[in-house]
Amino acid sequence: MSSTASGKSGTWRNWAGNVSARPVRDVTPASVEELSAAVRQAAEDGLRVKAVGAGHSFTAVAATDGLLIRPDLLTGIRKIDRAAGTVTVEAGTTLKRLNVALAREGLSLTNMGDIMEQTVSGATSTGTHGTGRDSASIAAQITALELVTADGSVLACSEKENPDVFAAARIGLGALGVVTAITFSVEPLFLLTAREEPMTFDQVTATFDELHAENEHFEFYWFPHTGNCNTKRNNRSAGPEKPVGRISGLFEDEFLSNGLFQVANSLGRAVPATIPAIAKISSRALSARTYTDIPYKVFTSPRRVRFTEMEYAVPRAALVETLRELKAMIDRSPLRISFPVEVRTAPADDITLSTASDRDSAYIAVHMYKGTPHRAYFTAAERIFLAHEGRPHWGKLHTREAEYFAGIYPRFGEFTALRDRLDPDRRFGNDYLRRVLGT
- Do 57 and 13 contact (CB within 8 A), yes or no? no
At 1 the pLDDT is 27
pLDDT of residue 80 exceeding 70, the answer is: yes
H helix runs in 231-343, sequence order: 246-249, 261-270, 275-285, 295-299, 319-332
pTM of the entire structure? Answer: 0.95
Tell me how long the chain is.
439
CB atoms inside a 10 Å sphere around CB 312:
26
Query: What are 14-23's pLDDT values in tens digits?
Result: 999 999 999 9
Task: Tell me the pLDDT of the chain averaged across its residues.
Answer: 94
At 348 the pLDDT is 98
At 9 the pLDDT is 43
Query: What are 282-336's pLDDT values in tens digits?
Result: 878 778 999 999 999 999 988 888 999 999 999 999 999 999 999 999 999 999 9
Query: What are 26-38's pLDDT values in tens digits?
Result: 999 999 999 999 9
At 255 the pLDDT is 67
Interior angle at CA 57, CA 87 and CA 355, nearest 5: 70
Q: How far apart are CA 354 and CA 169, in angstroms?
A: 10
Backbone angles phi, psi at 307, to 5 degrees: -155, 170
Query: What are 203-262's pLDDT values in tens digits?
Result: 999 999 999 999 999 999 999 999 999 999 999 999 999 998 877 776 777 767 777 788
- Do 109 and 136 contact (CB within 8 A), yes or no? no
Give the SS3 label for residue 44: helix
Q: How far apart are CA 295 and CA 257, in angstroms?
A: 20
**Following CA atoms 169, 174, 178, 179 in sequence, which dihedral angle do they give, to the nearest 10 degrees?**
40
At 113 the pLDDT is 95
pLDDT of residue 392 exceeding 50, the answer is: yes
pLDDT of residue 2 exceeding 70, the answer is: no
Interior angle at CA 350, CA 346 and CA 351, nearest 5: 90
At 7 the pLDDT is 38
Query: Which residues are CB-contacts of 177 (< 8 A; sequence separation ≥ 6)?
Result: 147, 148, 149, 150, 155, 169, 422, 423, 428
Query: Which residues are CB-contacts of 121 (< 8 A; sequence separation ≥ 6)?
Result: 51, 53, 71, 91, 92, 179, 180, 182
| Selection from 246, 217, 306, 385 nearest residue 1 by Cα | 306
Interior angle at CA 218, CA 166 and CA 57, nearest 5: 50
Q: How far apart are CA 414 and CA 169, in angstroms?
A: 12
Q: What is the mean pLDDT of residues 61-89?
A: 97
Of 59-73, 193-207, 296-310, the poorest mean pLDDT is in: 296-310
Give the SS3 label for residue 352: coil
Q: What is the mean pLDDT of residues 82-94?
A: 98
